[in-house]
Structure 1
Amino acid sequence: MSDNISVCWFRTDLRVADHAALTASMSVGPTVGVYVVSPSQWAKHDDAPVKVDFWRRALKALHADLADLNVLLVGLCVQEWADVPQAMLEFCQKIQASHVFCNRESGVNERQRDRATYRLLQAHGIVMEGFDDATLLKPGTVLTGAGVPYRVFTPFAKACRERLRTAMPVVLPAPRRQPMAPASILSLETPETLIDRAGYGDLNTQMRDRLATLWPASVDAAHERLAQFIESGLSAYHDQRDYPAIEGASKLSPYLAAGLLSPRTCFVAAARANQGELDSGARGALTWMNELLWREFYRHLMQAYPQLSMCKPMRPETEKVAWRQAPDEFERWAQGRTGVPVIDAAMRQLLATGWMHNRLRMIVAMFLTKNLLIDWRQGEAFFMRHLIDGDFPSNNGGWQWSASTGADAAPYFRVFNPLSQSEKFDPDGRFIRHWLPELADLPAREIHDPSPVARRARGYPDMMVDLKATRLRAIDAFKV
């Protein structure tokens, strides 16, 4: 241990254990943690107010966790990432830091920010080093036999499992407590204070309290949920994950998106529960590990194909699809007034909780892009503006899958029928009754598609489109 002061730059990795950058930083010398608050950049990236509120609460918990390690956590406030390199340089010079450590992110804007910061710090004799902590395997290292990135999930997942079988990721313990950097050199505020001052978004007290109850933002809460899921939810995951009325999903996505949990921690926990098997054993564990590999797949694609960060489809020929400009129809979809109960219930769940069940995400996305023939990018941005687990690679991948524009996406002629999906995955209408109380008294046989008389009596709108006709319209649009 030297007397060099080191900086750990936190991003979407708000934890102390299994954190490669923090571990490296504390091996160099007394460490100062830094979090960049950039409200204008968040707005450009459609980061949801509910997600920023989750970050704020997670940073408050991180502040306490780092204090136990003698690590200070301070905030740097810049409006946009273009201002980050100079702000980071001035901060490092102020505290006489010799090193900056961080965990890499996959988006093109994030990588440009980091390259610019690296060059400026290097020019002033400050070392900056990055680690790949957001993935199980380093992006760019899982390649086909021809040496190119996979564009199809199944062989990608197989290649990942082969690598992981011979070299299972190691979950790093929290670093040991070290001497603290001199507090006298710092006069900066905490990141959570800066976020409060920025006043990002428009969350009222009632919404904040609801979110704090639904999604407690701390590493302890994240690990408690993971342990509970592994113990009581993993074995039935393959059977229950598609049914939104029951607690079949892990609901760990906000914790993965903010980095309160690492993908390594989750994957290793699932593998241990399956006696180390990655290809056989319990179906629930295998299914959840497969979902973690889908998350991995989208991150590897994001780094291999920068156009994905620039509102471009993975399949360039789909740019020729004649998407409709229908703002009134989009607004009905966004507000949960389509007249399709399962879709309206799903949208109300999103608006009230910041989260939507994954099966429902596919149903509402396919309805928007196929039945309404509205550009997937509008739906992608809307989700990011409302999701507490808004994760750009996964959200982009999911929308492009539903819109048939992405890698290994649903074929264009595959159009979910939301009524049959509703009947299959919410057979008794329990989910619909919860979020559409105006329909709660309808019998199960009618709740998925109420009669005109039932709709009028309950003030529920008629279905805004003909599902069969709009399905054929979408297929024709993609054929052209």
Structure 2
Amino acid sequence: MHLIWLRSDLRLHDNTALAAACERGPTVAVYLISADQWLAHDDAPCKVDFWLRNLQCLSQALDKLNIPLLIRHAATWDLAPEVLRDLCREMCIKAVHVNDEYGIHEARRDTQVARALDADGVTFQRYLDQLLFQPGSVLTKTGTYFQVYSQFRKVCYERLHTALPRLVATPKAQAPLSIDSDPIPQQVSGFAAPGESLRALWPAGEEEAQRRLEQFCDGQISYYPDARDFAAKPGTSQLSAYLAAGVVSPRQCLHAALQSNQGEFESGDVGAVTWINELLWREFYKHILVGYPRVSRHRAFRPETEALAWRDASEDLAAWQQARTGLPIIDAAMRQLLQTGWMHNRLRMVVAMFLTKNLLIDWREGERFFMRHLIDGDLAANNGGWQWSASTGTDSAPYFRIFSPLSQSEKFDGEGRFIKQWLPQLEALNKKQVHNPDALGGLFGVADYPRPIVDLKKSRERALAAFRSLPSRQAAGGADE
């Protein structure tokens, strides 16, 4: 008997470990509920709910193939070796199959599980599935992990031209086993259930993920370069939550994008090329996680930036968290996050720069808050994005590049449609007024909207001074991609 241990790969199709297990013999699936570990990792309640709903869909799909899905509990990953060893003994499992996950805790967990199973003569088989390329296989000429995305992307393109990752065949139904699937819990202790309105935005299951992928690649991908920065437009794929949970694979996304562009990576439809580049950004940050483990430990990628004099400003932090900064584009974006579990990517950069530069608050506060609310929360992407914005990360924005919330708002929400959607108290303002109500001097109609908590010009100067005082400010800047 073979066991597929499901983690962030909640799909039937193009699942490397699942296909490998089924090829080798009768297979059973297991998923571990690890509530305390999820809490320690700041996983959002809406994200845990999304996992559970996708597990329910996957259980039904596996049932049609006569593959039972078992649920086991290991409060923390330190308990995973014992729980899985007991299950393997109980069911006479000879091999456990897993798709690799990345991060220091994930690596430690899998090493401990492999050791425990090996003592019982059970094989622990690991597969590349979450990424297009094995970490450690895309390196500089000196054998180190890339720190600049454009250089990483160039090597990835060279590899893709010569060896495009293939989609994995879907397993066929196996002979029925006298093992019943376990019921999927509807909720996990410590994680409040989200409202139905949020759930309705993120339907579970592979069918929904494939529907979104096909809809995007068939109709929207050509407009992606122009539409993706405008929060009021449906210009993005809305697939990030499905990618984070593994309901859709990066291989499936890559193949769909290529199919829409006659198989081209670097020519043809600019939209397809741009979107493939975004898939490679996701890949890049996962490789960084492996190559530079300190980012898994809440450390800055650029060590010299650990000396930054971040402000201890709890009231400003709370205003940012609660969408009452007095800057409409910031508050609208934060309300989108709080109510939907998601934020438009351009706005993630805008609100992150506002927190780390204008408020000069440690990026780790923002990273943690995002993880606690994002349905697509992913350590590598979230950490990479926050450190990029804070100018502490790999290939990050130079410290002197500070987005102005007002200019970003005027440029990417010119009509104020996004702002008015999330801040209805500003509905009466025209498209010039809505970006900066404070300029009106508290006129009727915006009396219930707060004044800005910070002077943008002075706070920008404060941030520049803080970065210039670092021992090596040039290193803190990085490349401007």
Q: Same fold (TM over 0.5)?
A: yes
Looking at structure 1, the residues matched to 413 and 212 of structure 2 have their Cα atoms a distance apart, in angstroms, of 25
Paired residues of 2:46 and 2:375 also in contact (CA < 8 A)? yes
Aligned residue among 202, 207, 218 for 2:192: 202
Matched, 1:143 2:136: no
Aligned residue among 440, 443, 468 for 1:479: 468
Looking at structure 1, the residues matched to 408 and 198 of structure 2 have their Cα atoms a distance apart, in angstroms, of 28
Q: Shift in Å at residue 200 of structure 1?
A: 3.4
Looking at structure 1, the residues matched to 445 and 246 of structure 2 have their Cα atoms a distance apart, in angstroms, of 46
Looking at structure 1, the residues matched to 346 and 176 of structure 2 have their Cα atoms a distance apart, in angstroms, of 47
In structure 1, give the amino acid aligned to 2:464. Answer: I
**CA distance change for structure 1 residues 99 and 321 in 2, over 3 Å: closer, same or farther?**
same
Helix, strand or coil at the partner of 1:458: coil
Matched, 1:22 2:18: yes
Aligned residue among 167, 174, 181 for 2:177: 181
Helix, strand or coil at the partner of 1:62: helix
Paired residues of 1:274 and 1:281 also in contact (CA < 8 A)? yes
Q: Shift in Å at residue 203 of structure 1?
A: 2.7
**CA distance change for structure 1 residues 316 and 124 in 2, over 3 Å: closer, same or farther?**
same
Q: Shift in Å at residue 199 of structure 1?
A: 2.9
Helix, strand or coil at the partner of 1:386: coil
What TM-score comes out, normalization by structure 2 length? 0.96
Looking at structure 2, the residues matched to 456 and 211 of structure 1 have their Cα atoms a distance apart, in angstroms, of 29
Helix, strand or coil at the partner of 2:432: helix
Looking at structure 2, the residues matched to 464 and 456 of structure 1 have their Cα atoms a distance apart, in angstroms, of 20
Helix, strand or coil at the partner of 2:317: helix
For residue 473 of structure 2, what is the aligned residue in structure 1? none
In structure 2, give the amino acid aligned to 1:200. Answer: G
Helix, strand or coil at the partner of 2:442: helix
In structure 1, give the amino acid aligned to 2:61. Answer: D
Percent of aligned pairs sharing the same letter: 50
For residue 43 of structure 1, what is the aligned residue in structure 2? 39
For residue 465 of structure 1, what is the aligned residue in structure 2? 454
- More divergent stretch after superposition (277-286 vs 337-346): 277-286
In structure 2, give the amino acid aligned to 1:41. Answer: Q
Alignment of 1:236-315 (within 5 A): 236-315=223-302
For residue 383 of structure 2, what is the aligned residue in structure 1? 396
For residue 224 of structure 1, what is the aligned residue in structure 2? 211
For residue 447 of structure 1, what is the aligned residue in structure 2? 434
CA deviation digits over 1:124-157, x for unaligned, max 9?
Answer: 1000111111101111100111111100000100
Matched, 1:78 2:71: no
What TM-score comes out, normalization by structure 1 length? 0.96
Looking at structure 1, the residues matched to 27 and 457 of structure 2 have their Cα atoms a distance apart, in angstroms, of 61
Looking at structure 1, the residues matched to 231 and 443 of structure 2 have their Cα atoms a distance apart, in angstroms, of 24
Q: Shift in Å at residue 455 of structure 1?
A: 7.3
Give the unaligned 5+ runs of structure 2: 470-481
Looking at structure 2, the residues matched to 378 and 333 of structure 1 have their Cα atoms a distance apart, in angstroms, of 11
Give the unaligned 5+ runs of structure 1: none
Paired residues of 1:338 and 1:344 also in contact (CA < 8 A)? yes
Paired residues of 1:368 and 1:374 also in contact (CA < 8 A)? yes
Looking at structure 2, the residues matched to 165 and 394 of structure 1 have their Cα atoms a distance apart, in angstroms, of 25
**CA distance change for structure 1 residues 255 and 41 in 2, over 3 Å: closer, same or farther?**
same
Q: Shift in Å at residue 457 of structure 1?
A: 4.1
Alignment of 1:55-94 (within 5 A): 55-94=51-90
Q: How many pairs align?
A: 467
Q: Shift in Å at residue 161 of structure 1?
A: 0.7
Paired residues of 2:426 and 2:445 also in contact (CA < 8 A)? no
Q: Shift in Å at residue 223 of structure 1?
A: 0.1
Looking at structure 2, the residues matched to 124 and 462 of structure 1 have their Cα atoms a distance apart, in angstroms, of 65
In structure 1, give the amino acid aligned to 2:193. Answer: L
- More divergent stretch after superposition (166-175 vs 379-388): 166-175
